[in-house]
Amino acid sequence: MSVRKPRLGYALVISAAVLFGLNGGVSRVAMGSGLSPQSLTTLRITGAAMVFVAYAVCFRRSALRRPRGSALLLVISLGLIGVAALQLTYNVAIDRLPLGIALLIEYLAPVLVVLWVRFVRKEPVRGRMWLAVALAVAGLAVVSRVWNGLTFDGLGVVMALLAAVSFAAYFLLGEHNVGIDDPLRVILWAFLVATVAMNLVEPVWTTPGLGGQTSMLGRLDAYSANLRLVVGAVVVLGTVVPFFLELVALRHLPATIVTVVAMLEPVIATILGWGWFRESLTPVQVLGAIAVLGGIVLAQTSRTIDTTLPQP
């Protein structure tokens, strides 16, 4: 049995959260070139699936064996909802909303998960769950300034909420799958299912040429980057590398801790939105964002049964 190294685990999950947070900005640059959220989602999922397959071929061929029976049904559900739907709704949300707001709404997933396990699975949870729900809902109301009417793009908010539902499904399906199968095998086949689904929606061969330059947008709009490199960064540095880092982190830290530390992602996205894309929040909205983060942390730590699952 390998020795747990908590400090290494924290370093890995913090690095992954930084990469996931930065990926929101890089993805926005890719879509700023004219790529639709559907096209970028297909490229991201297809590219990541190819990398996972290549890794399995070189280092763990057992992961290439197709799941069977109920495991196959779970992997198909995970691929369609927890990968394809999650990535598509996420890309639409960050294209239409401030980065930090989109990620805050998406990260309501742990709140949805704890409500599901309490009322559907009938699992015991700690009393802090109710405070978590209250903080998250009140914080989102403040961030959205509901007293002035919805101040953000309506479709963007709907997509971010659907991303939260898909993210919650990823947790629930993923923790069950990983409990009965190799995590690499689960995520490899989930990405293959998602690749098939997204190529039916927006085939990768219909993607416009990626050979040109694209503006870096925001405060960096005076600079440009090769679109192939931008998409490659989304696939490798925004998907495969942070996923791998969090997968390894789970060997050294409980899943509840990994998920809570991963809450750095919306914080980083908010800072990135301010520093890169000139997005800003009022002091009251910042307090609302802090309330949402507090609610998410409380929700994730209110479960009495620890789980192990790969992060998306």
Interatomic CA distance for residues 238 and 23, integer angstroms: 5
Interatomic CA distance for residues 130 and 117, integer angstroms: 14
Q: Is the pLDDT of residue 27 over 90?
A: yes
Q: End-to-end distance of the chain based on CA atoms, in angstroms?
A: 25
DSSP 66: P
| pLDDT for res 310 | 44
Task: Quote the mean pLDDT of the chain.
Answer: 86
Q: Are the C-beta atoms of residues 104 and 253 closer than 8 Å to each other?
A: no
pLDDT tens for each residue of 56-83: 999 999 999 998 888 899 889 989 998 9
- 3-class state of residue 306 by DSSP: coil
Q: Are the C-beta atoms of residues 235 and 292 closer than 8 Å to each other?
A: no
pLDDT tens for each residue of 192-247: 999 999 999 999 998 887 888 999 999 999 999 999 999 999 999 999 998 888 77
In sequence order, which residues have a C-beta less than 8 Å from that of residue 76 and are 6 or more positions away?
193
pLDDT tens for each residue of 170-191: 877 766 665 566 778 888 999 9
Which residue type, as a one-letter code, is found at position 172? L
Cα-to-chain-centroid distance, residue 135: 21
Tokens of 218: 């925001």
Core vs surface per residue 221-258: b (16+ CB within 10 A) or e: eeeebebeebbbbbbeebbbbbbbbbbebbebbebbbb
In sequence order, which residues have a C-beta less than 8 Å from that of residue 4 and are 6 or more positions away?
251, 252, 253
Interatomic CA distance for residues 57 and 63, integer angstroms: 8
DSSP 59-107: H-GGGGSPP-THHHHHHHHIIIIIIIIHHHHHHHHHHHS-HHHHHHHHT
Domain map of the chain by residue range? 6-300
DSSP 262-298: TTHHHHHHHHHHHHHH-----HHHHHHHHHHHHHHHH
| pLDDT for res 18 | 92
Q: Is the pLDDT of residue 1 over 50?
A: no
| pLDDT for res 150 | 61
